[in-house]
């Protein structure tokens, strides 16, 4: 009798379950909106645009993305909120995003930290919130727009410059955060560029956990293990300063070439000193400013393609914008060092 009841209850529970939709998530594109996105005629001072990221305290984000986003909001007379976990914690970013969606902000500017946030991005779109993914593309989403960098291309640029710097031969390593989609794409681009030079021996990619001390320790170990090391590539904001520290301490400035990402004041200073040879930076202020502006334009129907784009299922902003990269070396670093005004 107990078994029968258990089977009946289990069957009832199974039948009562609402299955997840069988959606085709194999493409990333703007699609005809199932739920019309929210629009407004008037700009209100309470109108709120929310930036959701992870590692919200990371200096790179604070100094570039968040500063540009706040300045944009001030100029437009709207509210800007910046939310997300303090640590690099993608599930916590997803949880933040999912809790922001029911509060129906005017627009969501989401840092494309990991492909795992795809479903949360789709939830925002389904809730009718104008949604822009910035920095790195998230495959399998229905985001209204992606604006940011192509990390594979950034890696390729680094690899090509590294090959040029070391004369097409020697041992090369790279470091960054292993497991992150955008950095793995960068590693691939770096390695693909090096493969064109048979004289280059790629000795591996290492996880510096976006930490200066870890990057310095890794670089020191690499230099100790490979006295003939020709170059190291860096893929997160702290890789460059960490590698530079060890190269300086081992007295190998100029003999171990350094290429890395980002253009923070410390990176620029190290280029000026001749410790770092090449930087490939992102146009972070550009993509956060423009991303927020696209959200605003979408909400306020700045450019209309039909009588009512939201109802017609037309997204009146670009689908994908690549903001490209900034290349910095000793020939142009002074222009960046003397820069004082941000957008």
Q: Which of 63, 71, 119, 214 binds other proteins (CB under 8 A)?
A: 119
Asked if 86 interacts with other proteins (CB under 8 A), we say: yes
Asked if 6 interacts with other proteins (CB under 8 A), we say: no
Where b means 16+ CB within 10 Å and e means fewer, 248-261 reads: eebebbeebbbbbb
Which residue, among 62, 58, 54, 173, has the nearest Cα to 114 in the 3D structure? 54
In the complex with other proteins, the residue whose CB is nearer, 67 or 92, is 92
Asked if 164 interacts with other proteins (CB under 8 A), we say: no
Q: Which of 10, 11, 44, 99 binds other proteins (CB under 8 A)?
A: 99
Q: Which of 77, 91, 204, 254 binds other proteins (CB under 8 A)?
A: 91
Count CB neighbours of 32 within 10 A: 9
Q: Which of 116, 274, 318, 343 binds other proteins (CB under 8 A)?
A: 116
- β-strands 320-322, 170-176 pairing: unpaired
Beta-carbon contacts of 38 under 8 Å, excluding residues fewer than 6 positions away, are 104, 106, 128, 129, 130, 299, 310
CB of 284 to other proteins, least distance (A): 18
Asked if 140 interacts with other proteins (CB under 8 A), we say: yes
- Total residues interacting with other proteins, rule: CB under 8 A: 48
Please spell the DSSP secondary structure of 66-98, one letter per residue. IHHHHHHHHHHT-EEEEE--SSS-HHHHHHHHH
In the complex with other proteins, the residue whose CB is nearer, 37 or 151, is 151
3-state class (DSSP) for residue 49: strand
d(CA 252, CA 46): 55
CB of 316 to other proteins, least distance (A): 28
Give the footprint of other proteins on this chain (CB under 8 A).
Answer: 13, 16-20, 22, 25-26, 48, 50, 56-57, 81-92, 94-96, 98-100, 102-103, 114-116, 118-119, 139-140, 178-181, 183-185, 207
């Amino acid at each position: 009798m107990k078994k029968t009841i258990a089977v009946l209850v289990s069957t009832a529970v199974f039948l009562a379950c609402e299955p997840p939709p069988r959606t085709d998530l194999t493409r990333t594109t703007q699609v005809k909106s199932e739920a019309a996105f929210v629009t407004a005629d008037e700009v209100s001072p309470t109108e709120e645009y929310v930036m959701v990221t992870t590692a919200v305290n990371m200096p790179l984000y604070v100094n570039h993305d968040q500063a540009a986003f706040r300045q944009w909001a001030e100029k437009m007379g709207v509210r800007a909120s910046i939310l997300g976990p303090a640590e690099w914690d993608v599930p916590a970013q997803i949880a933040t995003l999912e809790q922001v969606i029911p509060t129906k902000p005017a627009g969501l500017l989401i840092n494309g930290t990991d492909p795992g946030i795809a479903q949360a991005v789709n939830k925002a779109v389904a809730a009718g919130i104008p949604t822009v993914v910035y920095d790195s593309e998230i495959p399998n989403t229905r985001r209204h727009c992606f604006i940011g960098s192509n990390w594979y291309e950034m890696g390729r640029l680094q690899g090509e410059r590294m090959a040029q710097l070391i004369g097409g031969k020697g041992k090369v390593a790279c470091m960054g955060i292993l497991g992150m989609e955008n950095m793995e794409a960068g590693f691939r681009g770096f390695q693909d560029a090096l493969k064109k030079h048979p004289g280059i021996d790629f000795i591996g990619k290492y996880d510096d956990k976006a930490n200066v001390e870890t990057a310095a320790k890794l670089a020191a170990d690499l230099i100790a293990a490979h006295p003939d090391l020709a170059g190291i590539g860096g893929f997160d904001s702290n890789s460059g300063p960490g590698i530079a520290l060890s190269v300086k301490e081992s007295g190998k400035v100029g003999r171990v070439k350094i290429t890395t990402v980002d253009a923070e004041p410390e990176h620029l200073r190290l280029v000026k000193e001749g410790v770092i040879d090449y930087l490939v930076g992102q146009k972070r202020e550009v993509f956060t400013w423009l991303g927020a502006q696209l959200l605003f334009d979408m909400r306020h129907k700045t450019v209309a393609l039909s009588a009512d784009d939201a109802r017609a299922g037309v997204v009146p902003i670009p689908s994908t914008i690549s903001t490209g990269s900034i290349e910095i070396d000793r020939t142009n670093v002074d222009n960046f060092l003397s820069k004082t005004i941000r957008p």
